[in-house]
A and B are shown apart, each in its own frame.
Chain A
Amino acid sequence: MFGTRKTSRFRIAFKTAVVLACLALVLSACGDDEDSAAPEAGTETTAPATTVAPEEMGEEVLVMEHLGDGSLGTVEVEPGEAVQIRSLNAITGDVAFFGLPIERSVVLAIADYGQVHGFDVDMGTGLDDLCSNDGGQAAAQIIVADEDVVGVIGTSCSGAATAAAPLITDAGMVLISGGNTSPALTSDLAGTPGPNYSYGYYRTAHNDLFQGRVMAEFVFNELGITTAAAIHDGDPYTQGLAKAFTDAFAALGGDVTGFSAVNKEDTDMVPVLTEIAAGSPGALFFPIFQPAGDFIAEQAPGVSGLEGTVLLAADGLLNTSYLALSQTEGMYFSGPDTRFGQNVNASTGKSAQDFLAAYESEYGEGPAAPFWAHGYDATTMLLDAITAASYVSEDGSLMVDRQGVRQYLDNVRNYQGLIGVIGCDDFGDCGSGKITVVHHASSDDPEASMGNVVYSGGGN
């Protein structure tokens, strides 16, 4: 008796749940209809105004005129639907400061760009690469499960791209990163592809070989220091950059006294610093992230043998929260050249100032890290590629040739972006490669230190 009563109560609960679930489904389906109806209305009113060039092209030549041979398949976007691209960046956790501005730059770039052949562009919900291999893989699997996606802007972290790039490029999509800098993802700049290079991967961020070289030149030539050591945290980005620095330093004639690694979760840095101190380096380069970077800066002066060592870090730590720590005063940071000046993005006609104004009004704060410009240019490049590789078929659908998108990106030369002149090499390196070194003068005014450029170099 007791048993049956329990069961029937369970059944009622189950039935209620099923009914509720069905209701929810029906409601969400209605919601979808409304959502997809809205762009349709938008298409009719705004199409002629924003897509002048493609319209002209469509009228003058055959509708079939577009880049690509169809070898990677075609994405068909039906009338009223939107071209699907995705953002895959580090938007939570300690590195959100770095990925969030990139994701927002994608949103703003899509808004500035307008439509592609009269079709809206949809970024969907921003995906998170968690700045890790696992995170990149999980998100990439979600992306490739949707066959309508043409391209992805991401990842923020090289470690995430190592896992995400093969999955996304195998699915025929392209991955354009505004934040990855590891040489392993593209090439050694001398014609040899990196171990994690896959065709269909591009980036507007610089290759860290530039950054390592500029930092080494600065230390050796400008500071006159002849011994140096480096610490990484096992991430492909930090490892690649630390190695690029020590290689370039040794090539200049300097003496590399130590090369070691920490774990991202380590807090007690005395052992690793003692290991480094055994070689008495004049400079210590640790291109890692927070919080490990905090502990190194705080504990280094207390380790015997490192009292006078100059501390150097890279763009991963070049942010206002790190610079606000009093122990980071006097450090040097390498990073992408953010003096964008009057550069104008050729596709949208917007300048860095326009972007920053829009960013501020949209999100109520300025971007916390410099790669927003790279994300913006990556997005407009992708949209240009989609425009060039697509055409409107007779039934009004937009046909996007996946191979054509790659063909367009492969041949990008002298494209004017916010970050400067962009040109893609054979292995997907499109960035300008310009690097600056800034000096952190006072932890009371981190903003001023961010712009305190003392050296610049790199670039093609």
Chain B
Amino acid sequence: MANNWAPKTKVDWFLTVLRVLALGVVTVGLLAFIAQQISVDNPFARLINPDATGLTVAQFRGLVISGLSQGAMYGLIALGYSMVYGVLGFINFAHGEVFMVGAMTGMITSNKLDDAGLWESNFIGSLLFIVVVSMLVCTLTAVIMERVAYRPLRKAPRLIPLITSIGISFFIQNTSVVLLGPTSKAYPDMPDWLTAKRTFLEIEGTKILVICVAALAMLGLWLLVERTKTGKAMRAVAEDQEIAGLMGVNVNRTIVKVFAVGGAMAGVAGILWGVLFRSVIHYTGFLPGIKAFSSAVVGGIGNLGGSMAGGLFIGLAESTGPLLILEPLGVSGVSQLRDAVAFAMLIGVLLLKPSGLFGERLSAEDRA
């Protein structure tokens, strides 16, 4: 590893300069932020950004929590990208659309429950119900997608299913426009006890709920993959499809299960999206999908724990990055740059650690 860092060619030199620059910008920004937090009139902070204002503790906490809750959602979606990549070695770009289908399902179901009066009277039960329905619908979507679009291409070069997945993505988006119309649709109001700021650190209940549900889903998935026979089969297929087949693992069925589990995770994420933002539109899956994919890459694609950590990292970066790094540097209109920050973080991580924060592929861990 150390050898890789010693510049040899011109490209290496260029990359080294880029790495130093990226780290330099982040360091100076963070230092300036710390300086302005110590005192707004700190000469160092003033030098870099004359209009520095600084954040209160409550504001900073708000940013972090918002980043974590958004990141937990990215992580859940990223699991689907990561698992499919681990097993089939291609990126299923339509996975973001499965997430959108989950959010849409939740919107329809929750509004029906609201009409029936159950949403308010039994919120927890209703929430559980829409999570289950959304997981089922998303699982079904992912499985059908695999059967119709990817299984016939199993033996084709990897680029072919990749392009197919982009086609599927457009297909699902446009189907949503045809079925549900092109305008954004709202979830019913969340109950007051949930949206009100909790006394616990003054964090909004919805965000605590999102983080807890995401953690539970992640725990369930980890148990499934590491502790059950199905999980063992998935890991075996990821390691080597042919050998796994020879050892008596039903490869096709295992791949279907991978899609099903990934879809179910996207279904949970879809509901969390609805709980957080209460609004869904046919392109809802696009940007979160791309960011979740970035999360999977940041964490090391094929690595489940890495995907979740990558999601939290991207979520935190886009939430706090503009105000922690860019604003102290005197950049104007920083909030518009949040997507740029998220993707710059992806590039930054890949520059420093090309296989992601936790290393690629599930199988690497198992070998150890």
Contacts and interface: CB of A to CB of B under 8 A. Distances in A.
B173 interface: no
Interface string B333-368: 111101100000000000000000000000000000
A278 B319 contact: no
Nearest to B204: A302
Contact of B63 (A274, A290, A325): A274
Interface stretch (A54-62, A256-264, A375-383, A396-404): A256-264
B183 interface: yes
A291 interface: yes
A92 interface: yes
Given A277-B59, A278-B59, A295-B277, A271 B184 contact: no
Nearest to A305: B59
A265 B283 contact: yes
A96 B181 CA distance: 12
B56 interface: yes
B182 interface: yes
A265 B318 CA distance: 14
B160 interface: no
A260 B334 contact: yes
Contacts of A275: 322-323, 327, 334-335
Interface string B258-300: 0000000000000000001111010100010000000000000
Contact of B55 (A94, A261, A272, A278): A278
Interface in B305-326: 318-320, 322-323
A93 B183 contact: yes
B69 to A, nearest CB: 9
B56 A305 contact: yes
A278 B62 contact: no
Contacts of A170: none
A166 interface: no
B7 to A, nearest CB: 37
A447 interface: no
Tell me if B's interface is mostly helix, strand, loop or mixed.
Answer: helix
B336 A262 contact: yes
Nearest to A307: B197
Interface residues of B, number: 39
Given A261-B335, A305-B59, A294 B279 contact: yes
Given A278-B53, A278-B54, A291-B184, A261 B66 contact: no
A302 B197 contact: yes
Contacts of B70: 268
A94 B184 contact: yes
B335 to A, nearest CB: 4
A309 B338 CA distance: 24
A266 interface: yes
B287 A295 contact: no
A58 to B, nearest CB: 48
B199 to A, nearest CB: 15
Contacts of B335: 260-262, 271-272, 275
Of listed A270, A303, A325, residue having the most chain B CB within 10 A: A270
Interface in A235-275: 260-263, 265-268, 270-272, 274-275
A131 to B, nearest CB: 12
Of listed A93, A96, A234, A291, residue having the most chain B CB within 10 A: A291
A304 interface: yes
B323 A274 contact: yes
A275 to B, nearest CB: 6
Nearest to A97: B183
A290 B197 contact: no
A298 interface: yes
Contact of A271 (B66, B183, B287): B66
A302 B283 contact: no
Interface string A277-311: 11100000000001100110010001111000000
Given A234-B336, A278-B54, A270 B327 contact: no
A278 B36 CA distance: 12
Interface in A416-458: none
Contacts of B183: 93-94, 96
B144 interface: no
B333 A304 contact: no
Given A267-B279, A305-B59, A326 B336 contact: no
A27 to B, nearest CB: 28
Contact of A279 (B53, B277, B281): B53
A96 B189 CA distance: 25
B58 interface: yes
B278 A274 contact: no
Given A94-B183, A279-B53, A260 B319 contact: no
Given A271-B323, A298-B278, A326 B62 contact: no
Contacts of B204: 302
A279 B55 CA distance: 9
B327 A261 contact: no
Of listed B56, B202, B318, B333, residue having the most chain A CB within 10 A: B333
A263 B276 CA distance: 18
A261 B334 CA distance: 8
Contact of A270 (B62, B184, B334): B62
Contact of A92 (B55, B182, B278, B336): B182
Of listed A93, A94, A261, A302, residue having the most chain B CB within 10 A: A302
Contacts of B182: 92-94, 96
Contacts of A267: 276-277, 279
Nearest 10 A-B pairs (CB), nearest first?
A272-B335, A304-B58, A270-B66, A278-B53, A261-B336, A291-B184, A261-B333, A267-B277, A274-B59, A304-B59
Interface of B: 53-56, 58-59, 61-63, 66, 70, 182-184, 186, 189, 195, 197, 202, 204, 276-279, 281, 283, 287, 318-320, 322-323, 327, 333-336, 338-339
30 contacts: A93-B183, A94-B183, A94-B281, A96-B182, A260-B335, A261-B336, A263-B336, A265-B283, A267-B277, A270-B63, A271-B63, A271-B318, A271-B322, A271-B335, A274-B59, A274-B63, A275-B327, A275-B335, A278-B54, A290-B184, A291-B281, A294-B186, A302-B195, A302-B197, A303-B62, A304-B58, A304-B59, A304-B61, A304-B202, A326-B189
